Structure 1
Amino acid sequence: MSTDIRLFTVSIAQAQLDDLSQRLTSTRWPSRETVSDWGQGIPLDYCRELARYWATDYNWRRFEEKLNSWPQFITEIDDIDIHFIHRTSPHENALPLIISHGWPGSVMEFHKVIDALTDP
């Protein structure tokens, strides 16, 4: 087991974004859904709109920049790479706080509170 802590930076290759956009725009959609409400899943029109938005309008680079605005690291615990954000407070007497997400989930569950919690 390694105890090294490695710097982590989100860096999505443009080829991956291009591939995602191509796959989203070439999706073969069903002609209609079985029901028109959320009773059996996401409504078809809403899903199509989300796919269009992700393929053409969503600013992936801005999202990547936001993620990289926090210091991120990876360390190994029990042979598993663990990703974490380590944001320290500028306040000398600030209490340390660890917040952890569950599965399924991601650190993005906390993106709106990280800055407010570390520097209120």
Structure 2
Amino acid sequence: MYGTAPTRRDVLATLAAAGAVGLLPEQGAAAAADRSIRPFTVKVPQAAIDDLRGRIAVTRWPTKELVDDRSQGVQLATLRALARYWTSEHDWRKCEARLNALPQFITKVDGVDIHFIHVRSRHENALPLIMTHGWPGSVVELLDTVAPLTDPTAHDGNPEDAFHLVLP
């Protein structure tokens, strides 16, 4: 690399690595050992899903709002539709399978367990990219981006557009 100008890829890779290291707090040797990266699999007990559905089913609903718009908050019909979706339409096991089809890990940062997905591209010169979701939200919102970003050639893209993804 000496004698030649760094490429965009070189600069971004260096900044990503430096930024990731800079986010880690300064801690002693014992804490550093605690930051081990361990494989993770989503396994929600059926009892937890049943409990959630049961609690939603026994919701005490308020009376209907007095206006036809959202000026008084979320409308009762919207809340009931959401409750119906989560109790009878959402397939948690399908979502769990989508998550478990990807390499997942867990590590501690500042004493808090952090779950993340790490998918390496098959393209040798892929850039590292950390993608985060907002609040409220979850990593599930990012799942549809994994294949096009890690393997752009399978989606009518170019190898130089590939990324190694970390999705906390």
TM-score, length-normalised on structure 1? 0.88
Question: How big is the alpha-carbon RMSD for the aligned residues of Structure 1 and Structure 2?
Answer: 1.6
Equivalent residue in structure 2 for 1:14, among 46, 54, 58: 46
1:25 counterpart letter in structure 2? A
Q: How does 1:40-79 map to 2 (within 5 A)?
A: 40-79=72-111
Q: Which has the larger radius of gyration?
A: 2
| Structure with higher helix content | 2
Alignment-derived partner of residue 142 in structure 2: 110
CA distance in 2 between counterparts of 1:66 and 1:110 reads 11
CA distance in 2 between counterparts of 1:102 and 1:73 reads 20
CA distance in 2 between counterparts of 1:109 and 1:21 reads 22
CA distance in 1 between counterparts of 2:131 and 2:49 reads 30
**Identical-pair percentage:** 54
Q: CA deviation at 1:16?
A: 0.8
Alignment-derived partner of residue 16 in structure 2: none
CA distance in 2 between counterparts of 1:118 and 1:96 reads 10
TM-score, length-normalised on structure 2? 0.65
Q: Per chain length, whose mean CA-contact separation is higher, i.e. which structure has more relative contact order (CA < 8 Å, sep 6+)?
A: 1
- 5+ residue gaps, structure 2: 1-30, 153-168
- 5+ residue gaps, structure 1: none
Alignment-derived partner of residue 94 in structure 1: 126
Aligned residue for 2:127, secondary structure, equals coil
Contact (CA 8 Å) 2:36, 2:107: kept in 1 or not? Answer: yes
Aligned residue-pair number: 120
CA distance in 1 between counterparts of 2:77 and 2:100 reads 33
Aligned residue for 1:4, secondary structure, equals coil
Contact (CA 8 Å) 2:64, 2:75: kept in 1 or not? Answer: no
Q: Which 10-residue stretch deviates more, 98-107 or 66-75? A: 98-107
Alignment-derived partner of residue 25 in structure 1: 57
